[in-house]
Structure 1
Amino acid sequence: MSRLVTIVPALLLALQACSAVSPDDTSDGGSAPRRDGATPIDERDGGGGPIDGDGGTASDRDGGSSGTTDGGAPASCAPACGSGTVCVDGECVERVSGVPGIDSVLLGDPTRFDEEVLISQNPDLSWRPSRIYKWRDFVQAVTTMHTRGIGDMRLWLGEPGDPEPARSRYALVNLAAFLAQSMKETIRYDACDENNWDMTNGYAISNACGQLGQDYAGAGYDCEMACPRDPSMRMTAVTHAQWYGAPGPLFCAPNATLASVSGRSDGRTGRWNYGFDCYPYPASQPGFVAPGGDAWTRPQCEVYEGQRAGRYEWDGSGGSVEGCCWWGRGVIQTTGRCNFGMLNHYLGAGHLDPARFPRPAGALYPDVNFCRDPEAICASTEHPELKWIAGLFYWMSSVEPYSRDGWVYKDRLRAFVDGGMTDGTFIDGVSGIVNRGCHNPPCGTGPLDGAADRRANFELVLTTMGLR
């Protein structure tokens, strides 16, 4: 804990301040946005100087070079590394940690992990391998956060002085606990972007701004490191729910941009009418490819592949989505302007006054501006590991250093391993931290959601890793 405070005090203080309550998870996928303590990191508004450019058009997405950049940023590997290797500073190497017991699991055959662990549920409740979460991307993210990290903070894979095979078990259990939470939060839904899941307002288009009464750009998600407000931002989510009539992807755009489809000058939008039937189901026909571009410009009933019902209805029932580009993204749903601002400062292009907020040496992704383009987490083709990186950033800063009322994460993990890996209270405590912000919910935010699923996920990952 003190080590984290020494290294990145502003990060830890911001995370502690970002303690917004996470709403109950939903059953239609993509669950509720995650927060610091209640899941990923969190956000607020304001703080820091303006960023260059007009913001949010994603024009600079994937625009980085492959060489080492200013500040000692890592070089990428081109072509991509082959099986059994990962990219470290521009070279493909057969090493994640240098510990055989760890590396043999992570760099071994990915098939079983892709086909049995990283699986998603179809609308008919059958299961299939995830289309967006892949083991190789996860291993690359683990390698990057362990070998490069943020400043002196590294993803924990045991201590160098830990004897074998205990160190390997500590490291793999840490990763298994992370995966168990990720499987529940997003992987089972194949969601990278937050789904429009709040039906209390009729699946309002303005759910992009915050669901169940939240405001992802507002004061409840603010901190000094937050991305600046930018009403010119315009983007559409990459992923969305898939059930019959499921709402189309979340999007944000200036009021003036949407006036042509809403017919309104006050910025009000509408809702997704999930009961509208799309017969003869053009989006379900063989060979159909969903159109790209802005969601609101796509033909009715052709908003996404497989759509069989639903449409946007611009009846004024939803609020403005101007500047509402901060919905949850990534494997543990990083949400809001504070969280994206911290990602941008510590991992990305940066946007803050360096006199007040010194930049860590060698930012991992100086070519990615998470403030201009938060959608890069889900859309980047150059950095497909970003959807994992965002979640690991939360894990390193909020779970690994967790210590409250005598419950210390690493101590409990060691005790779990040393005790024969039979104590179910360990994963329940971790689930509480991620889902509700404390190891012993309810802690003012409600009961733990999906405890049984999280336990089962943990057991599955441990078995697949060969620890059972």
Structure 2
Amino acid sequence: MFKMSKHKLWDGDDNIEYGLVHIAAFLAQAMEEGIKANTCEELNAGHPHEVQKNKTVYSASAACGQGNELYENRGCSEEDEEAYMACNVNPDMILRAKVLSNWDDAPPGFFCAPRKYLPLAPRWVVHGLTCNSSSTSIDNITEYISYVKKEGRCRDYKQINSAGWSYADCNERRCPGPTGRVHVQGCCWWGRGVLLTSGVCTLGKLNTYLREIPELTPPENLCLNPSAVCDNRYPYLKWILGLFDYVSNVQDYAGGDWEYKTALKNWVNNGKSRNDPKFIDIASKVFKSGSPAGIANEASQRVNNFFEVLKIFGQYKEGE
């Protein structure tokens, strides 16, 4: 049974139906986040609508946040008794994600670096640049940041055809990402794990609790190296972070007139009908925005994921 201090995976009060539906709800979110793209680290989505908002498609500063909120500000609430566990944002941290989208010349993985090394973040130009067929990718992170600053092309990963970094079409070399940030200092808190958990709160709590479990504790402090979550040496960490996120932020949610466990039980007791997806709809909103009144992107797909898993678990048949 998954347990981190007071954060324990609910077993459905010893009711196997409740328990399986609970796990299906978690997996429905994981399928839409990390599993769908086969990634442990968040990808640069580069939404086209950013152009209309005076933001830059595929700005490197998308690492700072791909919504309206800076990930580094996604901390614990003042009322949270575990708030002291949150990671501190270190402006001198330098990290680079080792992940790629599955299409030609896609933006490379996110990275963060102090402004003294990269004052302004450029944008990724997907097509139209000339690449030397003999170009080799750069692995050293210090060399890589220098390469980005010089508007390097074709050396971010193997087999780039015609893409690279540029300040062209940016106002005075300022290429704001979704949050308006024009640099990547302190922007090391992009999503990681099967739920692409971002920010400093949940990761900081997990880092604290892992110290109490020697057999699971990685040598790295996750607050000093959050990318350790996706290190192949610790394949279990992406799942542990995802479970911890879901248990502490969704499973135990009780606010207003909606409480997760009660809503799940009621949905099961009322026949688990696909014509009434309200439970998974609201659970998805709580997961994505922290509130039943919030918004969940790809909401219909999360519902589909939920019922697909239930079908595998033998908890749902088409037509029910």
Fold conserved between structures, TM > 0.5:
yes
Matches of residues 11-410 of structure 1 in structure 2 within 5 Å?
146-147=1-2, 149-159=3-13, 162=14, 167-198=15-46, 199=50, 200-212=55-67, 214-218=69-73, 221=75, 224-258=84-118, 267-277=119-129, 292-294=139-141, 295-296=144-145, 297=147, 300-313=153-166, 316-318=173-175, 319-348=182-211, 361-362=212-213, 364-365=216-217, 367-378=219-230, 380-410=231-261
Aligned partners of 2:122 and 2:165 also within 8 Å: yes
Paired residue total = 284
Instruction: Give the Cα separation in 2 of the matches to 1:408 and 1:192.
Output: 29
Instruction: Give the Cα separation in 1 of the matches to 2:194 and 2:68.
Output: 23
Q: Kindly provide the amino acid, as one letter, of the partner of residue 301 in structure 1.
A: C
**Structure 1 residue 434: deviation in Å?**
1.4
Instruction: Give the Cα separation in 1 of the matches to 2:279 and 2:34.
Output: 21
Of 285, 305, 311, the residue aligned with 1:457 is: 305
Q: Kindly provide the amino acid, as one letter, of the partner of residue 315 in structure 2.
A: L
Residue 196 to residue 406, structure 1, CA distance change in 2 (3 Å): same
**Structure 1 residue 240: deviation in Å?**
3.2
**Structure 1 residue 376: deviation in Å?**
0.8
Residue 337 to residue 174, structure 1, CA distance change in 2 (3 Å): same
Residue 457 to residue 228, structure 1, CA distance change in 2 (3 Å): same
Q: Kindly provide the amino acid, as one letter, of the partner of residue 206 in structure 1.
A: S
Summarize deviations over 1:359-387 as a string: whole Å, max 9, x none: xx546426331111000111x22311211
- SS for the counterpart of 2:126 is strand
**Structure 1 residue 427: deviation in Å?**
1.4
Aligned partners of 2:218 and 2:234 also within 8 Å: no
Aligned partners of 1:271 and 1:317 also within 8 Å: no
Aligned partners of 1:215 and 1:221 also within 8 Å: no
Instruction: Give the Cα separation in 1 of the matches to 2:139 and 2:200.
Output: 26
Residue 245 to residue 213, structure 1, CA distance change in 2 (3 Å): farther
Aligned partners of 1:328 and 1:334 also within 8 Å: yes
**Structure 1 residue 242: deviation in Å?**
3.0
Aligned partners of 2:131 and 2:163 also within 8 Å: no
The reply on whether 1:428 has 2:286 as its aligned counterpart is no
Instruction: Give the Cα separation in 1 of the matches to 2:113 and 2:8.
Output: 37
Instruction: Give the Cα separation in 2 of the matches to 1:281 and 1:413.
Output: 56
Residue 214 to residue 433, structure 1, CA distance change in 2 (3 Å): closer
Instruction: Give the Cα separation in 2 of the matches to 1:374 and 1:252.
Output: 12
Residue 432 to residue 320, structure 1, CA distance change in 2 (3 Å): closer
Residue 465 to residue 221, structure 1, CA distance change in 2 (3 Å): same
Summarize deviations over 1:326-368 as a string: whole Å, max 9, x none: 11111222212233322222234xxxxxxxxxxxx54642633
Q: Name whichever of 150-159 and 388-397 sits farther off.
A: 150-159
Residue 192 to residue 406, structure 1, CA distance change in 2 (3 Å): same
Aligned partners of 2:137 and 2:154 also within 8 Å: no
Instruction: Give the Cα separation in 2 of the matches to 1:306 and 1:180.
Output: 33
- SS for the counterpart of 1:272 is strand
- SS for the counterpart of 2:32 is helix
- SS for the counterpart of 1:463 is helix
Residue 250 to residue 460, structure 1, CA distance change in 2 (3 Å): same
Instruction: Give the Cα separation in 1 of the matches to 2:218 and 2:309.
Output: 33
Aligned partners of 1:237 and 1:375 also within 8 Å: yes
Residue 308 to residue 461, structure 1, CA distance change in 2 (3 Å): farther
Structure 2: which 5+ residue stretches go unaligned?
77-82, 176-181
TM-score normalised over the length of structure 2:
0.77
Aligned partners of 2:129 and 2:153 also within 8 Å: no
**Structure 1 residue 392: deviation in Å?**
0.8
Aligned partners of 1:208 and 1:251 also within 8 Å: yes
Instruction: Give the Cα separation in 1 of the matches to 2:271 and 2:223.
Output: 44
State the identity as a percent: 35
Aligned partners of 1:194 and 1:240 also within 8 Å: no
- SS for the counterpart of 1:375 is helix
